[in-house]
Amino acid sequence: MVKLIIDPITRISGFLGVEVEIEKNKIVEAKVEGNLFRGFEKILKGRYALDAVYLTERICGICSSAHALAATLALENALNLVPTENVIYIRDLLHSFDIIQNHIRHFYLFTVPDYVEFDFSSPLYETCHKDYRIPDKLSRKIQEDYLKSIEFSKLAHVGVALLGGKAPHNHGILPGIVSVSLDRLKIEEIKSIINKIKDFVDNCMLEDVNIISMYYGDYFEKGKTYNNFLSFGLFDYEDFYYVKPSVIINGVKSDFDVNKIHENINYSWYEVHDGQVVENIKKKGAYSFVKSPRYDKMPVEVGPLARMILSGKYNLKSSTMDRIIARCQEASNILRIMSIIVERIEPFKKEVKYDFKVSSGLGMVDTTRGALLHYVKLDYDKIDGYDIITPSAWNFSPRDDFLGTVEKALVDTFIDDINDVVEVGRIVRSFDPCISCATHVTLRR
């Protein structure tokens, strides 16, 4: 038996280590370790309610709009604020630009180097693995698209900035309103950006992922999870939707019930002291700062693949390659939805009044990496308590009675070459880890 620690898993957001035990070329044990703690829920307590929006954005550099939106939804819920349809469309548009930015960056900058050997001169592209199968001509095509992708992911952030001032960490989304001044010119500019990116995604990205999947067919067999999928819903409008709040447990689809969400800290570096969750790095048996959220006691997979399956756009199966393909196809699908939404937005007069009271609110939205939940407890205009369950916490949780989702994906994987274990990185990256996000959730009270 060989024990192997791969830390850092590079080309992700945040710090992640993976410990695997390999017996006869098969992974028999896997531990996924979240290696960063920030403690946002402690930082938020006692601060001004509205500041939650801009502060929680700072949890994550690559998906900041998602936190702005979830915090906004939680505050709207607490303040009984109902935004107009126009406001919802505009902020969904802003959020989707950030999703597209992430999907393009995750595919080209983080995923592609796992499968394509680069001939760029920068030492950044030196590789330490051998399993590269794509012929030179196609490899060069993908490398050219890699360079193009930098322009298009940037352009997606230009979309965020047009609507929200700057990216990352935009200013545009607030409870009940969006701050942007829209005019016809700006709307046309946004349409043009959507079209340009869609052109790239449909003609380059989908083709590139197709090439990769042809040469790495064995990755349709590697990285399988439980067939448990969860989504809080995304682009769920009156006359059309992408995905409704829903779950699949053991292959059976049902409606989503928020009361079935629980978190445990059995193998996380936390313990409960006087009803408070405190960090304890010396806790026996613990190995991660990520906690273990569960749906009906089961670990679930969240993210683009879960959404594509739950919306009926992808067959019910999970693997490394399915996850990567689903992300690329979803990018194209979201861009299609964006071109519908952009036709519906219009200039408007902004007016909002916040009526703070003692209350609490829940904000749930599906985002870049899956289901994101914010919960806020208000004492008038101050925050009395804040909880966050991030998508990467669902995917990268340590075990309880069951292995965490990514641990499950790793265990039983066949390793081709024990001296060059390339499988672990590929499987883990297909989930698009964001550990800066995952490691500051707390128990919901």
Partner 1 sequence: MKNCLWEVINNKNSLSKALAEEAAVQIRFGKTKKPNVIWIEATGCSGNTISLMNADYPDLIYLLDNMINLKFSNSLMVCDGERAFESFLKTLKEDFILVVEGAVSTKEDGLFNIIANYKGNKITAYDAIKMAGAKAKSIIAVGTCASFGGVSKAYPNPSEAKSVKEVLQKDVINLPGCPSHPEWIIGTLAYIITNEKIEVDDLGRPLLFYGFTIHDFCERRVYFNNRIFAKNIGEPWCMFKLGCRGPVTKTDCPKRRWNNKVNWPIGDNTPCIGCANAYFPDGMEPFIRL
- Residue from 174, 194, 205, 326 touching partner 1 (CB under 8 A): that is 174
Contacts for 121 with CB less than 8 Å, ≥ 6 apart: none
At 348, list the tokens: 């408007």
- Residue from 73, 91, 168, 223 touching partner 1 (CB under 8 A): that is 168
Build a one-symbol-per-residue string for 265-284: x at contacts with partner 1 by CB under 8 A, - elsewhere.
Answer: --------------x-x---
Q: How far apart are CA 115 and CA 422, in angstroms?
A: 10
User: Which helix (H) or strand (E) covers residue 164, if one does?
Assistant: helix 136-164
- Residue from 2, 10, 192, 412 touching partner 1 (CB under 8 A): that is 10
Q: Candidates 157-165, 237-245, 248-256, 260-268: pick the segment binding partner 1 (CB under 8 A).
A: 157-165
At 36, list the tokens: 């960063």
Q: Candidates 115-123, 239-247, 291-299, 311-319: pick the segment binding partner 1 (CB under 8 A).
A: 115-123
Residue 168 C-beta: closest distance to partner 1, Å: 5
User: Which residue(s) pair with 362 in the sheet?
Assistant: 375
By the rule CB under 8 A, 185 interacts with partner 1: no
* Sign of the CA dihedral with 25 first, then 31, 36, and 40 last: positive
Question: Annotated binding residue at 440?
Answer: yes
DSSP one-letter string for 315-338: -S---HHHHHHHHHHHHHHHHHHH
Question: Annotated binding residue at 434?
Answer: yes
Phi and psi for 414 in degrees, rounded to 5?
-85, 130
Question: Annotated binding residue at 204?
Answer: no
Cα 221 from chain centroid (whole Å): 23
Residue 140 C-beta: closest distance to partner 1, Å: 16
Residue 229 C-beta: closest distance to partner 1, Å: 27
- Residue from 122, 259, 315, 419 touching partner 1 (CB under 8 A): that is 122
Asked if residue 314 lies in contact with residue 327, where contact means CB atoms within 8 angstroms, the answer is no
Please, which of residues 203-262 interact with partner 1 by CB under 8 A? Answer: none
- Residue from 172, 223, 404, 433 touching partner 1 (CB under 8 A): that is 172
Asked if residue 261 lies in contact with residue 329, where contact means CB atoms within 8 angstroms, the answer is no
CA distances from 193 to 154, 188, 365, 377 (A): 11, 9, 24, 38
Nearer to partner 1, 46 or 251 (CB): 46
At 94, list the tokens: 């802003």
Question: Annotated binding residue at 389?
Answer: no
Cα of first residue to Cα of last residue in the chain, in angstroms, is 43
Peptide bond into 391 cis (omega under 30): no
Q: How far apart are CA 156 and CA 101, in angstroms?
A: 5
Please, which of residues 48-67 interact with partner 1 by CB under 8 A? Answer: 48, 50-51, 54-55, 58-62, 64
Length of the chain: 445
Residue 252 C-beta: closest distance to partner 1, Å: 37
- Residue from 88, 109, 298, 443 touching partner 1 (CB under 8 A): that is 109
By the rule CB under 8 A, 169 interacts with partner 1: yes
How many residues sit in the footprint of partner 1 (CB under 8 A)? 79
* Antiparallel, parallel or unpaired: β 382-389 and 370-379: antiparallel
Please, which of residues 341-400 interact with partner 1 by CB under 8 A? Answer: 349-352, 354
Nearer to partner 1, 190 or 247 (CB): 190
- Residue from 21, 29, 36, 332 touching partner 1 (CB under 8 A): that is 36
Please, which of residues 292-351 interact with partner 1 by CB under 8 A? Answer: 349-351
Residue 160 C-beta: closest distance to partner 1, Å: 7
CA distances from 287 to 171, 225, 290, 413 (A): 36, 21, 9, 22
By the rule CB under 8 A, 167 interacts with partner 1: yes
* Antiparallel, parallel or unpaired: β 234-236 and 229-231: unpaired
Q: Which residues contribute to the annotated binding site for Ni(2+)?
A: 60, 63, 434
Q: Which residues contribute to the annotated binding site?
A: 41, 60, 63, 388, 434, 437, 440
Q: Which residues contribute to the annotated binding site for Fe cation?
A: 63, 437
